[in-house]
Chains A and B, each alone.
Chain A
């Protein structure tokens, strides 16, 4: 049973526009959420994270929003660039000594010039 869900397998946007990638989770014990980006034949690369005590974290063109009551988070990329084309994974972690990440299935983003 998927505890972290990315319901859109793919997304296509025009260069310069906003990309919004969504993620839902079911486990209310998750206390930390992360987004990773993955290019083919490479390992995932950490992008941005957010603690459950916050509702927004921003880093340059990337902003993550967390809605705890809805168990939903989203990654906004603005403006989108062709180099952002990759698979984006949402991941979540629990508290205490549990350091493993639970991952979604990923969303493939294509930014068209």
Chain B
């Protein structure tokens, strides 16, 4: 596709449930980033992939959060035992290389934990 695609666009889940958020980057982009944005805040870094490997996962808040990118393209962010504080917009971005800071962002997945 022409842009970064994130699905679902909205997700409502009950506290304690497991969720998966999907990101389809721009074809050929080797770098992929996950950020999350809470209301009234700027985006907060979660994890960065270069190819299939997580080059920096220092932003994952705890071990309930995990992300994979098995074939170096699509990435899935997985959240176990969701908590109300996980409610946010989860943003995915990709760039041609890790040296290009002008990421292209998707529209995000709005996660609401009730």
Contact = CB atoms under 8 A, between A and B. Distances in A.
Contacts of B55: 97, 99
B107 A98 contact: no
A32 B101 contact: yes
A82 interface: no
Interface stretch (B11-19, B39-47, B80-88): B39-47
Contacts of B41: 105
B4 interface: yes
Contacts, number: 57
B1 interface: no
B56 A46 contact: no
Interface string B71-114: 00000000000000000000101000010011111111000000
A3 to B, nearest CB: 11
A49 B102 contact: yes
A46 B105 CA distance: 9
Nearest to A44: B105
A34 B106 CA distance: 18
B108 A43 contact: yes
Contacts of B108: 43
B92 to A, nearest CB: 8
Given A43-B91, A44-B43, A91-B42, A98 B105 contact: no
Given A34-B102, A106-B42, A99 B91 contact: no
Nearest to B50: A99
B106 A43 contact: yes
Interface of A: 4, 32, 34, 41-46, 49, 89, 91, 93, 97-106
Interface of B: 4, 31, 33, 35, 40-45, 48, 55-56, 58-59, 91, 93, 98, 101-108
